[in-house]
Amino acid sequence: MNEFKELMTEIDRFTEERDWDQFHNPKDLAVALSIEASELMELYLWKKPEEANIGKVKEELADVFNYAFLIASKYQLDVPAIVREKMAENARKYPVEKAKGVATKYDEL
């Protein structure tokens, strides 16, 4: 078993041991993911990026990953596969020759 699958199993086990699956419908997991993303953003609010507490950034980022992986688990999605699919799509939208060094959205490249 690879390390990523082991991690997904650990996350599922954590939920199972606490009987929290009953609360983990995809809608509430998506809401929780958004809240955790906001907690991550709050660490940067009114600060320069380098002033954020990296220890807290790690914690909030881990919360974001946790909820994202729980949603993926709900739908039995292969996380590395769907991320790679999306990267391939992004590579088509943002060809290097047009996108290199510019932050323009793909429909305006």
| Contact positions vs Mg ion (CB under 5 A) | 36, 39, 60, 63
> Judged by CB, which is closer to Mg ion: 8, or 40?
40
In whole angstroms, how close is the CB of 31 to Mg ion at the nearest point?
13
State the minimum distance, in angstroms, from the CB of residue 62 to Mg ion. 8
Amino acid, single-letter form, for residue 39: E
Least distance from Mg ion to the Cβ atom of residue 30, Å: 15
Specify the residue, 56 or 105, whose C-beta has the smaller distance to Mg ion.
56
Which DSSP category does 50 fall into? G
C-alpha distances in Å from residue 86, one per residue of 20, 82, 91, 108: 30, 6, 8, 19
Nearer CB in complex with Mg ion: 12/39: 39
Separation CA 40–CA 62 (nearest Å): 10
Which stretch of DSSP H or E encloses residue 35?
helix 26-42
